[in-house]
Structure 1
């Protein structure tokens, strides 16, 4: 990890009035949640169009739930790592206004972050596609292949997680709140995301377009590296705690 880049980023963060963060899959890898798109990830074993669309839920719910069981087996036991804890610490200290995340694992909230905007929903919430009834996430953890597809006890329709499947729109509330955060921000920390997925990748550009600062934390160069004022090429679980320590000292 380049010390000069870290010190520069910490100085920018310490001087900012309203900082926000944008996070992606890379921030949760140390928690045991691999990027679905990475080699060996879930998209190596499943066709997203066959298991992660509403059409698939309607036509082949068992197939979708086989995929969801695999996702739950990875996400369910995961715990926050030092990267999540560092962002929660920055928020608690008044140095971070909020987090926009592309992740569905709920680890920011588990680490103590309060203002978390989930672009793609979360696996900690489930609802019936028929009657809309909420279902306890704890029940999902105990499901076996004999129990799928999970059906609502009240109406018999299929139960699904409250995540954004391919082809579904980002929730309007998330878009509105993230837009408000970006409008107020003078600095954005981009951590663990390639910057290739819209509309999340537009947020750093919006902050920069208004004269704000972009701090990137990624293992390697990304689609946002050319936009960043400072790039720290290191694991999020290492770089974010170091950044928070320096910015708050």
Structure 2
């Protein structure tokens, strides 16, 4: 049941529910929110596209060519895990080489000057932290950590990657891929013969092969502690600014609903449509880089 629910969630199409605000009104509204301070920012894949990481649901997003694995598939199908790690072994290094862009850096400035209270990001690329943001809650986790599903042991992804390289000498050099084909969850499509040639590393603590990146898959629940951190940050914030996210999944959409219920302003800045956009105070439907250049 959870697997089928996850499939429905990733296939959700977010269509227009309300007209955009005028650019002048949207810019003025967002600027007024920032000037008051303590605005919570929710970021999605659109924030990282200028860093070379594709989004999920845009016209050229990865969901047009790739269905992410569900948690149920990953946990209960060893061959699916093996396929993920073969593809992730190749794709992750392209993610790791990505650098924060101007949007990430502007958010650091806004935090330093009190304009924003913090960031809840749906991205798993770690770029907000690398840019220097201090209060960041990665609601869907972080690709830079690997955890064992059997014993709970955690391992730094770079260390894990070194172990994989030792087991797969020459593998990376032999595989040619288009970096633009790397998916936001860090894997890339590979022919089956390359999957078959891949050798997986085991857990250094218990020897299990059931290792998983520390990210929340479709069909998996956000950890309770992380939900509590999000609730505390929401409570301390005076408004909500959504950047580059369709809020298609419930973990993001629920934040919008919470701010609407509290009667606080909500601004959406994205080049596409957003779930619940009809409830927002302002809808600024432009490329993010264009909007950010107009804000102080």
Give your verdict on TM over 0.5.
Answer: yes
CA distance in 2, matches of 1:38, 1:140: 32
7, 11, 23: which one aligns with 2:32: 11
Q: Which residue of 2 aligns with 1:53?
A: 71
Higher alpha-carbon deviation: 121-130 or 22-31 = 121-130
Deviations 1:118-161 (A, max 9, x none): 11111011123333332222135554555543322343212321
Q: CA deviation at 1:35?
A: 1.6
149, 174, 180: which one aligns with 1:129: 149
Q: Do the aligned partners of residues 37 and 69 (structure 1) sit closer, same or farther apart at CA in structure 2, a change above 3 Å counting?
A: farther
Q: CA deviation at 1:3?
A: 4.2
Deviations 1:183-228 (A, max 9, x none): 2322110011112210211112211221211111101332233222
RMSD: 2.4
Q: What's the secondary structure of 1:212's corresponding residue? A: coil
- For the Cα contact (< 8 Å) 1:19–1:96, is it kept in 2? yes
Matching of residue 190 in structure 1 with residue 242 in structure 2: yes
Q: Which residue of 2 aligns with 1:205?
A: 257
- For the Cα contact (< 8 Å) 2:58–2:272, is it kept in 1? no
Q: Do the aligned partners of residues 55 and 196 (structure 1) sit closer, same or farther apart at CA in structure 2, a change above 3 Å counting?
A: closer
Matching of residue 105 in structure 1 with residue 157 in structure 2: no
Q: Structure 2: give runs of 5+ residues left out of the alignment.
A: 1-21, 172-196
Alignment size in residue pairs: 241
Matching of residue 216 in structure 1 with residue 268 in structure 2: yes
Q: What's the secondary structure of 1:153's corresponding residue? A: coil
CA distance in 2, matches of 1:238, 1:139: 38
- For the Cα contact (< 8 Å) 2:33–2:39, is it kept in 1? no
CA distance in 1, matches of 2:44, 2:136: 13
Q: Which residue of 2 aligns with 1:168?
A: 220
205, 208, 216: which one aligns with 1:157: 208
Q: Which residue of 2 aligns with 1:25?
A: 45
Q: CA deviation at 1:8?
A: 2.9
- For the Cα contact (< 8 Å) 1:34–1:41, is it kept in 2? yes
Over alpha carbons, which structure has the higher Rg? Answer: 2
Q: Structure 1: give runs of 5+ residues left out of the alignment.
A: none
Q: Which residue of 1 aligns with 2:137?
A: 117
CA distance in 1, matches of 2:25, 2:62: 37
CA distance in 2, matches of 1:40, 1:10: 30
Q: CA deviation at 1:64?
A: 2.1
Instruction: Give the structure-1-normalised TM-score.
Output: 0.85
